[in-house]
A and B are shown apart, each in its own frame.
Chain A
Amino acid sequence: MRLSLVVHVCGLITRVFGLMFLAPLAVALFYGEYRDALGFLATAVTTSAIGYAMRMAGGRDAEEAIERMRRVEGLAIVSLSWLLIAGFAAIPYVWAGLSPINAMFEAMSGLTTTGATVFRDFSHYGRAVFFWRSMTQWLGGMGVIALFVAVLPRLAIGGREIFFAEASGPDDEKVSPQIRRTASLLWRVYAGLTLAETIALRLAGFSWYDAVCHAFTTLSAAGFSPNAQSIAGYQNPAAEWVIIVFMFLAGANFALQYRALAQRDFRIFSRDEELRAYTGVTVLATLALMYILAGSMTASDNLRTSLFQVLSILTTTGYASVDFETWNQQAKAVLLGLMFIGGCAGSAGGGPKVVRHLLLAKFTMQELRRMLHPRAILPVKLGGRVVQNSVLQGVIVFFLFYLLTFAVCSIIVILMGADILTGISAAAATLGNVGPGFGQVGPMGHFADLHPVSRVVLTLAMWIGRLEVITVLVILRPEAWREGRWLSGTRASA
C-alpha cells in the first residue's frame, strides 16, 4: 500500500468536503444565528486547509499514482476518509456544545444515514445545526465518495476502486461504462427525487425549511428530523403518504430507477427480482403489523401507520410517525426482524440488503436440492443470470461478519449497563444504519445516556455497517499495512 497515495486522495476529498459547510453557513446567516455561522465558517476553513495540506503531503508521486490505484488502497481510502469526514462534520456539533464523543456519534450517525441521535433537548440547537444534520445524511445517502468521483476530474479513472468500495450490495452495477458518468447520473437521479419530495412536502403543508430537511433525510433513508418527535410531531397524514412513497424509492435501486426513466420502460421494475422481493417484504410485513395493531386505531390510520413504520425500518430510514416504543412485543418483533433485511443493493438503504437475503435463500435451496441429486449442476441465478461463486462466498462471509459484529456490539452495550432489549436493538439499529431502536434508545429517546464506551462502539458499528463490513475489516488486518510504504515502490527504489 502506498501511504502517500492514501493521504493524497483523502486530502483531495477532505478539501472539497470543506466546501459543504458553506450551505449551513448560508442557512445560519439567513436565520441570523451568527454564533453558529462563525462555527461553520471556521470549520470550512480548517477542513479545507487540512485537506490541502494532506494533498500536498502526498506529493507529485501520489498524484501520478492515482490512476494506478490498487484495491487495498481504494479500501483504505474509503474507510479512512469516512472516518476523517465524520471527524470534520463533528466540529460544528462541538461548537454547539456537544462533547467530542457525542459530536462524533452524531456526525457518524448523520453521514452513515443512521439517524440515531444523542441530542437530549432539541431546543438547545439552532436551525442551521439541524440543517447541517440533515445535510450530512443527504451527502452520505448516495455516498460521499460517489459525489467526489462525479465532481473531481482527478478521480475519473482511479475513482473506480473507491466507487465500488463504497457502493452497497454484492454486485458491481453501473449505468454507464464510465465510472464518472455512472456516479454523476446516479447523483442526478438522487437530487431530482430530493427536489420532487421537497415540493411534494411543501404542498402537503410543511414549511420550506422542514420540507428540505425531511427530503434530505428521506431520500438518504436516514431519518433525522429537526422535530424532536420525528414525523409524529407534525400530525400530517398527507405528508406521511408523501414520505411513504419516497422512502420506498430511497430503498430501491437507484440504477434501476435511472434505467426505467431513461428508457421510459417501467416494466423494468417488475422484471427485477430484488425489487419484487423488496415489495413482497414490504407488503407482508405491513399486513402482519396491521393484524397485530388492529383495534388500536381506525383502519385507514392503521394502514398508513403500519406501512410507514415498515418502510421506515426496512429501508433503514428510522422515522417515527407514532411512538412505536409503546407498541406491544409482537409489533416490535416485526420491526426488529426488518432491521436485518435492509433496502435494495444500490439504494440509499442500509442493512444487509434484500438481494443478499435473496441470494442466500437461493443458495440454500440449491444446496438442499444437491442432496437429492449429488451430480447435478445447480448454479444460483438472479434475473436469469448465473451468480458467480465468488459473489456467493462474499455474501456468506458478509452475513457471518455482520452477525458477528452485531453480537459483539450488543454484548458490549449490555455489559456497559444497558438492558437487553436496548442493547440488541441499539446494535442492530446502528450496524444496519436504521437509527432508533427500542427501550431507552426508542424513537422518542436518544443514545446520550448510554455508557461512553457503548457510544464509541456504536459509532464504529455505524461506520462498519455503512461500508458493508468487509471494506473496513480488510483494513483492520495488519497484513494490509505491513507492506505500507510512503512512496510507490518503483520510484523509491530508482
Chain B
Amino acid sequence: MHIVIVGGGEVGSALARALAPDHEVFVIDHDATVADRFTALDVDFIQGSGTSEDVLARADVKNADFFLACTGLDEVNIVACAIANQVSSPETICLVSRADFLGSASDAGLAQFGINRVLWPEAQLAVDIEQVVTAPGAIDAEVLAGGVVRLLEYKLEASSPLVAAPVGSLHLPKGSLIVAVKRAGKLFVPRGATQLVAGDKIILMGTPEAMAEVETLVRPGANRGRQRVTIIGGGDVGLQVATRLEKAGNVDVRIVERGEERGALLAARLTRTLVLNGDGTDLEFLESEDVGQSDVLVCVIDNDERNLLASLLGRQLGVPKIVTRVSRPGNLRLFERVGIDVALSARGAAVASILHQISGGTSSLLAVLEHGEARVLELTVSPDFVPRQLKGIGTPEDVIVAAILRGDHAIVPRGDDRIDPGDRILVFCTRAAAARVLAYFGGTGA
C-alpha cells in the first residue's frame, strides 16, 4: 500500500519502522535533522512542510491509500489532512494533542476537514490512568465497548483466595472471566486446569457489576475509603487525569507542577485539586508534602528520565501504587523491571492502533495490553460461521471469547452459550494469535 506519514517524530518513526517492510512509505518532515532516523529504513524521506501542496505532490499523495498526520502541532496535522483530502481521498488519520480543535469532535466537523479518524493519544492515556487509579489494587484497567465491559489486571498475593484451586473450580462472580495469566514474563490464556500461584499477574474481563465483586474477591479487606492521589507533572495528561479524577469524586487529588505559570493555569482550570508548585524529583519537597501517604502516585512528566526518578522516589517514600507514563516505548519493560506497577505509553498505544487499522483492517482493536503482547479485538462474526456452543468451538490457542455484545449489554459467555453468525464479540488474544482470530471467525470490524 502507499502510505504518507507527515511528521517524523516518535510516532512517525515508529510507524515508519513498522510499515516499511510491507508498504511503500513516504515520510514528510520540515526538520532535516530527523532524516537520520529514516536513513536506515526503507522509506522515502522528503524534507518540507506537510501543509505544502508541492511537498505533498512529491510524496505522490494522489495515489496514497493512507495519510497519517502525526506532527506535534495540531494545526499542521489538521491542515495537512484537509489538503490531502482535496488532492485525492486517502484514508486520513490525524493525531491531536489538545482539546481545542477536535477534542469534542462531531462527525460533521471532521468531515469538513476531510479527516476520517482522530487519535488523541494523551486523552486515551488520561482515561487509562483514571481507570487504573480508580480501581484500587489493580495494576491495569480498561473500559471497553462503551463501558459495558471492564478489564482489570491484578498481581496475585499469597493471601488471595484465587491461588487455592485450579481456575476451572474457582467461584468467580457471574459475568467475569480470567482471560490471561502472565507468569515469568510469558502471557498465556489459562485453561481449566491451570493453577494460579502468588506472583502471577492475571487479567480479568467482565461486566462492570461483576468486576466490582471481583475487586473484593481478589483483594479482600482492601481500603475502600477516599483515595489520595498525587500527580507529578501538570502537562496535558496531568491536567486531564486531574480533571477526570475530580469528576469521579471520592478522590483527593494533588498535582505537582514545576512551572509557576503552568501551575497558575492548572489552578484556574481545576476546582478541587490542590496545585503545588515544586519539582516532583525533589525528595525534600515530596517529603514536606507527605507524598508518601498517597495511595497512588501518577508520574506524567513528559520526560522519561525525570519520570523514572520521580517514580522511584515515590516508591522509596512508600507509595503503594505507582503509575508512570513512558514516552519512548522501548523503555516500557525497563520501567516495570525496576518496580513501577503500571507503565503506560500513549504513543505506543496510538501506533499500535494505527498499525492495526492498516494491516488487519477488518476488526477493531479495542485495547493493547502488556506492551503489545496481548490485545482485545471487537469483531462481527461472519455469516458463514456455523453457529455452535462455545464449548464445542475449540478456539485457537491463546484466544478466548471474552464477551458477546447483544443490544447495549454484554454477555460473558459460559461453555453453553452459543455464538451465531452476525454476533458482535470481544476476543482476547495474544499478539501472535491475532491473525488466527480473524481466520477463525471470519469476522469484520465493528
Q: Which of A373, A379, A384, A385 contacts B289 (CB 8 A)?
A: A373
Docked-complex contact B274 and A379, CB < 8 angstroms:
no
Q: With A and B bound together, what is the CA distance between A376 and B257 in angstroms?
A: 10
Q: Which of A373, A375, A379, A384 contacts B264 (CB 8 A)?
A: A379
- Say yes or no: is A371 at the interface (Cβ < 8 Å to chain B): no
Which residues of chain A are within 8 angstroms of B268 by Cβ–Cβ distance? 379, 381, 385-386
Docked-complex contact A377 and B271, CB < 8 angstroms:
no
- Say yes or no: is B285 at the interface (Cβ < 8 Å to chain A): yes
Which residues of chain B are within 8 angstroms of A385 by Cβ–Cβ distance? 268
- Say yes or no: is A57 at the interface (Cβ < 8 Å to chain B): no
Q: With A and B bound together, what is the CA distance between A384 and B272 in angstroms?
A: 11
Which residues of chain A are within 8 angstroms of B271 by Cβ–Cβ distance? 381, 384
Interface string of B236-275 (1 = CB under 8 A from A): 0000000000000000000001001001101110010011
Interface string of B122-143 (1 = CB under 8 A from A): 0000000000000000000000
Docked-complex contact A378 and B267, CB < 8 angstroms:
yes
Q: With A and B bound together, what is the CA distance between A209 and B263 in angstroms?
A: 60
With contacts A373-B289, A375-B285, A375-B289 taken as known, whether A386 is within 8 angstroms of B267 at the C-beta atoms is yes
Per the 8 Å Cβ criterion, residues 272-293 of B in contact with A are 274-278, 285, 288-289
Q: With A and B bound together, what is the CA distance between A379 and B261 in angstroms?
A: 12
Interface string of A115-138 (1 = CB under 8 A from B): 000000000000000000000000
Q: Which of A373, A377, A384, A386 contacts B263 (CB 8 A)?
A: A377
Docked-complex contact B274 and A373, CB < 8 angstroms:
yes
Q: With A and B bound together, what is the CA distance between A312 and B60 in angstroms?
A: 78
Which residues of chain A are within 8 angstroms of B278 by Cβ–Cβ distance? 375
Docked-complex contact A375 and B277, CB < 8 angstroms:
yes
- Give chain A nearest CB distance to B307 CB in angstroms: 20
Docked-complex contact A379 and B267, CB < 8 angstroms:
yes
Docked-complex contact A376 and B276, CB < 8 angstroms:
yes
Q: Which residue of B lies closest to A384 (CB)?
A: B271
Per the 8 Å Cβ criterion, residues 360-396 of A in contact with B are 373, 375-379, 381, 384-386
Per the 8 Å Cβ criterion, residues 129-179 of B in contact with A are none
Which residues of chain B are within 8 angstroms of A377 by Cβ–Cβ distance? 257, 260, 263-264, 266-267, 275-277
Q: With A and B bound together, what is the CA distance between A238 and B214 in angstroms?
A: 64
Q: Which residue of A lies closest to B262 (CB)?
A: A377
Q: With A and B bound together, what is the CA distance between A265 and B364 in angstroms?
A: 44
Per the 8 Å Cβ criterion, residues 319-349 of B in contact with A are none
Q: With A and B bound together, what is the CA distance between A386 and B267 in angstroms?
A: 9
Which residues of chain B are within 8 angstroms of A379 by Cβ–Cβ distance? 264, 267-268
User: Which of A373, A376, A377, A385 counts the most B-chain CB atoms under 10 A from its CB?
Assistant: A377
Q: With A and B bound together, what is the CA distance between A385 and B271 in angstroms?
A: 10
Q: With A and B bound together, what is the CA distance between A375 and B256 in angstroms?
A: 10
User: Which of B264, B268, B285 counts the most A-chain CB atoms under 10 A from its CB?
Assistant: B268
Which residues of chain B are within 8 angstroms of A375 by Cβ–Cβ distance? 276-278, 285, 288-289
Interface string of A83-108 (1 = CB under 8 A from B): 00000000000000000000000000
Interface string of A428-449 (1 = CB under 8 A from B): 0000000000000000000000
Q: With A and B bound together, what is the CA distance between A379 and B271 in angstroms?
A: 10
Q: With A and B bound together, what is the CA distance between A385 and B268 in angstroms?
A: 7
- Give chain A nearest CB distance to B230 CB in angstroms: 12
- Give chain B nearest CB distance to A392 CB in angstroms: 14
Q: Which of A376, A381, A384, A386 contacts B277 (CB 8 A)?
A: A376
Docked-complex contact B285 and A376, CB < 8 angstroms:
no
Which residues of chain A are within 8 angstroms of B266 by Cβ–Cβ distance? 377
Which residues of chain A are within 8 angstroms of B260 by Cβ–Cβ distance? 377
Q: With A and B bound together, what is the CA distance between A373 and B263 in angstroms?
A: 14
Q: Which residue of A lies closest to B260 (CB)?
A: A377
- Give chain A nearest CB distance to B55 CB in angstroms: 42
User: Which of A375, A378, A381 counts the most B-chain CB atoms under 10 A from its CB?
Assistant: A375
Q: Which residue of A lies closest to B275 (CB)?
A: A377
- Give chain B nearest CB distance to A378 CB in angstroms: 7
Q: With A and B bound together, what is the CA distance between A384 and B288 in angstroms?
A: 29
Q: With A and B bound together, what is the CA distance between A375 and B275 in angstroms?
A: 9
- Give chain A nearest CB distance to B294 CB in angstroms: 14
- Give chain A nearest CB distance to B156 CB in angstroms: 38
- Give chain A nearest CB distance to B259 CB in angstroms: 10
Which residues of chain A are within 8 angstroms of B275 by Cβ–Cβ distance? 376-378
Q: With A and B bound together, what is the CA distance between A377 and B256 in angstroms?
A: 10
Which residues of chain A are within 8 angstroms of B274 by Cβ–Cβ distance? 373, 376
- Give chain B nearest CB distance to A267 CB in angstroms: 19
Docked-complex contact B267 and A373, CB < 8 angstroms:
no
Q: With A and B bound together, what is the CA distance between A377 and B276 in angstroms?
A: 6
Q: With A and B bound together, what is the CA distance between A373 and B252 in angstroms?
A: 15
- Give chain B nearest CB distance to A277 CB in angstroms: 18
Q: With A and B bound together, what is the CA distance between A381 and B267 in angstroms?
A: 9
- Give chain A nearest CB distance to B260 CB in angstroms: 8
Which residues of chain B are within 8 angstroms of A378 by Cβ–Cβ distance? 267, 275
Which residues of chain A are within 8 angstroms of B285 by Cβ–Cβ distance? 375
Q: With A and B bound together, what is the CA distance between A377 and B263 in angstroms?
A: 7
Q: With A and B bound together, what is the CA distance between A373 and B275 in angstroms?
A: 10
Which residues of chain B are within 8 angstroms of A381 by Cβ–Cβ distance? 268, 271
Q: With A and B bound together, what is the CA distance between A101 and B268 in angstroms?
A: 52
Which residues of chain A are within 8 angstroms of B289 by Cβ–Cβ distance? 373, 375
Q: With A and B bound together, what is the CA distance between A373 and B256 in angstroms?
A: 12
Interface string of A385-425 (1 = CB under 8 A from B): 11000000000000000000000000000000000000000
Q: Which of A373, A384, A386 contacts B276 (CB 8 A)?
A: A373
- Give chain A nearest CB distance to B229 CB in angstroms: 16
Q: With A and B bound together, what is the CA distance between A378 and B276 in angstroms?
A: 9
Which residues of chain A are within 8 angstroms of B288 by Cβ–Cβ distance? 375
Which residues of chain A are within 8 angstroms of B276 by Cβ–Cβ distance? 373, 375-377
Q: With A and B bound together, what is the CA distance between A377 and B278 in angstroms?
A: 10
Which residues of chain B are within 8 angstroms of A376 by Cβ–Cβ distance? 274-277
Which residues of chain A are within 8 angstroms of B263 by Cβ–Cβ distance? 377
- Give chain A nearest CB distance to B133 CB in angstroms: 21
Q: Which residue of A lies closest to B234 (CB)?
A: A377
- Give chain B nearest CB distance to A347 CB in angstroms: 27
Q: With A and B bound together, what is the CA distance between A378 and B288 in angstroms?
A: 18
- Give chain A nearest CB distance to B167 CB in angstroms: 48
Q: Which residue of A lies closest to B274 (CB)?
A: A376
Q: With A and B bound together, what is the CA distance between A385 and B275 in angstroms?
A: 16
- Give chain B nearest CB distance to A363 CB in angstroms: 14
- Give chain A nearest CB distance to B314 CB in angstroms: 17
User: Which of A376, A378, A381 counts the most B-chain CB atoms under 10 A from its CB?
Assistant: A376
- Give chain A nearest CB distance to B295 CB in angstroms: 18
Q: With A and B bound together, what is the CA distance between A376 and B254 in angstroms?
A: 10
Per the 8 Å Cβ criterion, residues 206-233 of B in contact with A are none
User: Which of B266, B267, B288 counts the most A-chain CB atoms under 10 A from its CB?
Assistant: B267
Q: With A and B bound together, what is the CA distance between A306 and B443 in angstroms?
A: 75
Q: With A and B bound together, what is the CA distance between A379 and B277 in angstroms?
A: 13
Q: With A and B bound together, what is the CA distance between A375 and B266 in angstroms?
A: 14
- Give chain A nearest CB distance to B268 CB in angstroms: 4
Which residues of chain B are within 8 angstroms of A386 by Cβ–Cβ distance? 264, 267-268
Which residues of chain B are within 8 angstroms of A373 by Cβ–Cβ distance? 274, 276, 289
Q: With A and B bound together, what is the CA distance between A386 and B275 in angstroms?
A: 14
- Give chain A nearest CB distance to B385 CB in angstroms: 53
Q: With A and B bound together, what is the CA distance between A174 and B289 in angstroms?
A: 42
- Give chain A nearest CB distance to B163 CB in angstroms: 42
With A373-B274, A376-B277, A386-B268 given, can you name 20 additional A-B contacts, CB distance below 8 Å? A373-B276, A373-B289, A375-B277, A375-B278, A375-B285, A375-B288, A375-B289, A377-B257, A377-B263, A377-B264, A377-B266, A377-B275, A377-B276, A377-B277, A378-B267, A378-B275, A381-B268, A384-B271, A386-B264, A386-B267
23 A–B contact pairs at CB < 8 A? A373-B274, A373-B276, A375-B276, A375-B277, A375-B278, A375-B288, A375-B289, A376-B274, A376-B275, A376-B276, A377-B257, A377-B260, A377-B264, A377-B276, A377-B277, A378-B267, A378-B275, A381-B268, A381-B271, A384-B271, A385-B268, A386-B267, A386-B268
Which 4 residue pairs of A and B lie closest in terms of their CB atoms, listed nearest first?
A: A377-B275, A386-B268, A377-B267, A377-B263
Residues of B at the A interface (CB closer than 8 Å) are: 257, 260, 263-264, 266-268, 271, 274-278, 285, 288-289
